[in-house]
Amino acid sequence: MKKSRYYTRNYGRLIRRDGQVNRVERVGGSTWRFKDLYHGLITLSWMQFFSLIFALYFFTNTGFAIAYLFGGDCLVNAKHGSFQDAFFFSVQTLATIGYGAIYPGTMYANILVTLEAFVGLLGVAIVTGLAFARFSQPTAKVLFSNIAVIAPYNGVLTLMYRTANQRNNQIIEAQQIATIVRNDVSQEGESLRRFYDLKLVRSQTPIFALTWTVMHVIDENSPLYGMTFEDFFQQEAEIIISLTGLDETVSQTIHARHSFIADEILWNYKFVDILSTTPDGRRMINYTRFHDVIPLLN
């Protein structure tokens, strides 16, 4: 551990003690994202989503342009064998623009135009629905401290971590669930990955607007009772946090989750106080030191 007055970790890296990033490999079963097409399209990043839509748009127009060329001179005012004219006519037809400079001149072309117009209307409806579903998804802007600490509080060893609402609104009826996951060995010698719930001092709050320091008392009834710093590494322990609540702005349930592995749990440290009072008497929160901790004096 770096010996400094303030200790701040890089966010988002789940690293074991040996420096390897934790990953889970799935053997057997389908790992193809688009086996569940709707879920696959919803979970794409915006860049991937728009790239996929553009690719489908381009190849659809290319396919119809080739189909028009197979019909010979079926497009009036189009140059003979011109892929460019056929392609841009397809663009106009798919988007139902219809400038009129080039138009279908045969039954074959009219059938293709009818089919392409239907595909265009269907595509617009699907893309609009997907875009709306992606935009309307409730999201939480909840900040979790990069680390958790285990230190005495009111004379009792306590696990603590910080959360904060990053939006300028309130999360109504917010509640948190904390669970420790660790490797256990049964009496028969079978190795299992077990989940144990951690009882929180305060697991819910009627209004979550600013910050919330969550605590778990490590007493005789706690799954952490008797565990040492080394035990967290040996058992590959991980503390998983789940937060739910109602966003008052959109009146939708939001979710947020986070986890702390052994490297991200510091013993005998405490969080730096981020609450203060301005000269005019107002309360102030300093988020720049949200993740900072200092060692306890022995």
Question: 91 and 230, same structural domain?
Answer: no
Q: What confidence score (pLDDT) does residue 92 get?
A: 92
Q: Is residue 27 part of a domain?
A: no
Report which residue type is found at 117.
A
Judge whether 242 and 180 are in contact, CB under 8 Å. Answer: no
Question: Final residue of a domain: which of 115, 135, 155?
Answer: 135
Q: What is the CATH number of the domain that holds 56?
A: 1.10.287.70
Q: Which residues pair with 171 in a beta bridge?
A: 208, 247
Residues 74-133 have pLDDT tens digits of 999 989 989 999 999 999 999 888 888 898 989 999 999 999 999 999 999 999 999 998
Question: 38 and 74, same structural domain?
Answer: yes
Question: 148 and 290, same structural domain?
Answer: yes
Q: Is residue 25 part of a domain?
A: no
Euclidean distance between CA atoms 175 and 194, whole angstroms: 23
Question: Final residue of a domain: which of 109, 135, 161?
Answer: 135
Q: Please tell me the total count of domains within the chain.
A: 2
Q: In the predicted model, what is the mean pLDDT of residues 255-264?
A: 91
Residues 232-256 have pLDDT tens digits of 998 889 999 999 999 888 888 888 9
Q: In the predicted model, what is the mean pLDDT of residues 169-198?
A: 88
Q: Is residue 259 part of a domain?
A: yes
Report which residue type is found at 184.
D
Question: 286 and 202, same structural domain?
Answer: yes
Q: How confident is the model at residue 11 (pLDDT cuts 50, 70, 90)?
A: very low
Q: How confident is the model at residue 4 (pLDDT cuts 50, 70, 90)?
A: very low
Q: Is residue 221 part of a domain?
A: yes
Q: How many CB atoms lie within 10 A of CB 240?
A: 15
- In Å, what is the CA distance from 60 to each residue of 38, 46, 100, 115, 281? 20, 21, 21, 12, 64
Question: 196 and 256, same structural domain?
Answer: yes
The 3-state DSSP class for residue 184 equals strand
Q: Is residue 18 part of a domain?
A: no
Does the predicted model carry a pTM greater than 0.85? no
Residues 19-41 have pLDDT tens digits of 344 555 666 555 666 677 888 88
Q: What is the CATH number of the domain that holds 148?
A: 2.60.40.1400
1, pLDDT greater than 80: no
Q: What is the β-pairing status of strands 171-185 and 275-277?
A: unpaired
Structural domain of residue 285, as residue ranges?
A: 142-295
Measured in whole angstroms, how far is the alpha carbon of residue 270 from the centre of its chain?
Answer: 29
H-only helix segments in 161-284:
229-234
Question: 170 and 54, same structural domain?
Answer: no
Q: What confidence score (pLDDT) does residue 49 get?
A: 93
Q: Is residue 40 part of a domain?
A: yes
Question: Final residue of a domain: which of 114, 135, 156?
Answer: 135
Question: 99 and 243, same structural domain?
Answer: no
Q: Is residue 179 part of a domain?
A: yes
Question: 290 and 149, same structural domain?
Answer: yes
Q: Is residue 166 part of a domain?
A: yes
260 CB-contact burial (10 Å; exposed 0-12 / middle 13-18 / buried 19+): buried
Question: 160 and 62, same structural domain?
Answer: no
Q: What confidence score (pLDDT) does residue 39 get?
A: 84
Question: 283 and 240, same structural domain?
Answer: yes
Euclidean distance between CA atoms 238 and 102, whole angstroms: 65
Percent of the chain with pLDDT over 70: 88
Question: 148 and 170, same structural domain?
Answer: yes
Question: 146 and 110, same structural domain?
Answer: no
- Average per-residue pLDDT for the chain: 85
